Amino acid sequence: MEGLKVSEANMVVYVHPSKSKKVSQAVLRELGAMLLKFDEKFEGVLLAYEAKIIDRNAKILSGVHPYFGVTIKAKLLLFSPKPNMLVEGKVVKLRQESIHIIVLGFASAVITDEVIRDEFKHRTKHGEEMFVSRAHKHHVIKVGTMIRFLVKSFDEEILHISGSLVPSHTGSIHWLEKNLVEGSVTNSNKRKMRENEGDVSVAPDANTLISNNDDCFCIRVMMIQTNSKQEILIVFL
């Protein structure tokens, strides 16, 4: 999913003198208060952090309550969706005129019927509303479906996304990924047949492509859905 990034920052956290014997706890409490809020300095919503105090000599500020500043180095996981990015979420409400989604368990999103592509037709089956693809009957969007959609805008104050299902590579994640895999297998088989006929050249080996990009650091973030909750799984590649 796009819109997620990891940033490193050198920060100063101001601690009340009454917390001087438990500085680490006070610093973590201050950072915890920043979670799931948009921060203009970081240009994103803080989802997680890893912090380390790098200077034990705190600077005391003058005043009635002489707070002292603690210098830390932090690694921050931020959510910062921009227009035309692809994000993923779970459908929590569906009507003929709109689809409502929750993203990463905290941000709301809505897709109105004006930006749902004509391929999808609204239907009601056994009292349950859904959007069904005219071209692929198994491509269904209903309450509980995890979908991938395009970001149109993001309201940083209320953490609300306006989305779109106009692009063909948006819709049910399960259907998109299943058909992507099937399409890849089909294309692979076709390529092997052409190679056997001796009329195509073989692409560079994958290991060669990887070795040419040793400086690339990749982070893959996946939404894990269980019966009771959603989790973020971060895989360092």
Q: pLDDT of 21-75, one tens digit each?
A: 888 888 888 889 999 999 998 999 999 988 888 776 666 666 656 788 888 899 9
The predicted model scores a pTM of 0.71
Backbone angles phi, psi at 71, to 5 degrees: -85, 125
Per-residue pLDDT at 234: 39
Q: What percent of the chain has pLDDT over 90?
A: 52
Per-residue pLDDT at 15: 85
CB–CB of 85/3 below 8 Å?
yes
Per-residue pLDDT at 6: 93
**Residue 216, C-beta contacts closer than 8 angstroms, at least 6 positions apart:** none
Whether residue 196 is predicted with pLDDT greater than 70 in this model: the reply is no
- DSSP states along the chain: --SEEEEEEEEEEEE-GGGTT-HHHHHHHHHHTTTTSEETTTTEEEEEEEEEEEEEEEEEPPSSS--EEEEEEEEEEEE---TT-EEEEEEEEEETTEEEEEETTTEEEEEEGGGB-TTEEEEEETTEEEEEESS-TT-EEETT-EEEEEEEEEETTTTEEEEEB-STT-EEHHHHHHHHHHHHHHHHHHHHHHHHTT-SPPPPPHHHHHHTTTT---EEEEEEE-SS-EEEEEEE-
Arithmetic mean of pLDDT, 171-181: 89
**Pairing mode, strands 146-155 and 160-164:** antiparallel
Per-residue pLDDT at 22: 85
Torsion on CA atoms 75, 30, 34, 217, rounded to nearest 10? 0
Please identify which residue in the block is written with the tokens 């035309």.
Answer: 84
Q: Would you state the structure tokens that stand for residue 42, as one six-digit string?
A: 């970081």
Per-residue pLDDT at 204: 33
Whether residue 189 is predicted with pLDDT greater than 60 in this model: the reply is no
Question: 85-89, 118-122, 201-205 — which is least confidently predicted?
Answer: 201-205
Whether residue 215 is predicted with pLDDT greater than 60 in this model: the reply is no
Please identify which residue in the block is written with the tokens 């060669």.
Answer: 208
Per-residue pLDDT at 56: 67
Per-residue pLDDT at 218: 33
Arithmetic mean of pLDDT, 76-88: 96
**Residue 90, C-beta contacts closer than 8 angstroms, at least 6 positions apart:** 101, 102, 144, 145, 146, 147, 225, 230
Per-residue pLDDT at 160: 97
**Pairing mode, strands 107-112 and 160-164:** parallel
- Work out the mean pLDDT of the chain and round it to a whole number: 79
